[in-house]
Amino acid sequence: MTERSTLHRLPNRGSNEMEAVYAILDAAFLAHVGFVVDGQPFVIPTLFGRAGDKLYLHGSAASRMMRTLEAGVPVCVTVALVDGLVLARSAFHHSINYRSAVVFGTARKIDDPAQKNEALRVISEHLITGRWDEVRVPASQELKATTVLELTIEEASAKLRTGPPIDDEADYALPVWAGVLPLGLKAGEPVPDARLQDGLEPSEFIRRYQR
């Protein structure tokens, strides 16, 4: 651990234990990737997958993010999950319950077709387990048009907040409702594609999808 992954504000909410980081990464599927091009910072949202201490990212071979990251520049990847609104008796003490992870590392481009396919499978299974075995795998031309990156996690930290609001002692006497409004990601009823063949129903893992 170095200064870049050291938590300075409310460090009691944080952890540098990799199992804590992995648990948050595995609960999310959308990451924000930060990098710098000619002094200009960029933060791009993207899907990802994880296997061990590796994160896998993919995108168009023409993507600025992919072309920049494959050169080995420093990368910062973040994920955040909101679990609830924390409603206090004072405006100052409102907050959210959350889980977040910040990952630092460098990426390498995967060129071997078999390794690219495996990385794409990891990303697909991270998004929705079971789907990869149902669909057509990428064709050779599709693989050529796609850049796949493997990012080794060099450093990381996790941070979270749980529990009720923490008000000033004098404010507990105020006649204002306070507590937590839980929030979560919930899947709706699957909507079939307009060109779906007759008689096809979504698999059970789609119907029961949750994170």
**Does residue 208 form part of some domain?**
no
Whole-angstrom Cα distance, residue 132 to residue 130? 6
- Look at residue 10 in the predicted model and tell me its pLDDT: 60
Residue 151 lies in domain: 3-83+97-164
Whole-number percent of the chain with pLDDT over 90: 91
**Does residue 157 form part of some domain?**
yes
Confidence band, pLDDT 50/70/90 cuts, at residue 16: confident
> CA geometry: angle at 135 spanning 126 and 46, to 5°?
35
**Does residue 64 form part of some domain?**
yes
**Does residue 188 form part of some domain?**
no
Higher-pLDDT residue of 5 and 139 is: 139
Is-contact 106 67, C-beta < 8 A?
no
Tokens coding 55: 């994160």
Whole-angstrom Cα distance, residue 57 to residue 55? 7
Average pLDDT over residues 74-80: 97
Q: What is the CATH number of the domain that holds 21?
A: 2.30.110.10
Average pLDDT over residues 108-124: 97
The answer to whether residue 1 scores a pLDDT higher than 80 is no
Confidence band, pLDDT 50/70/90 cuts, at residue 66: very high
Overall domain count for the chain: 1
Confidence band, pLDDT 50/70/90 cuts, at residue 190: very high
pLDDT tens per residue, range 19-51: 999 999 999 999 999 999 999 999 999 999 999
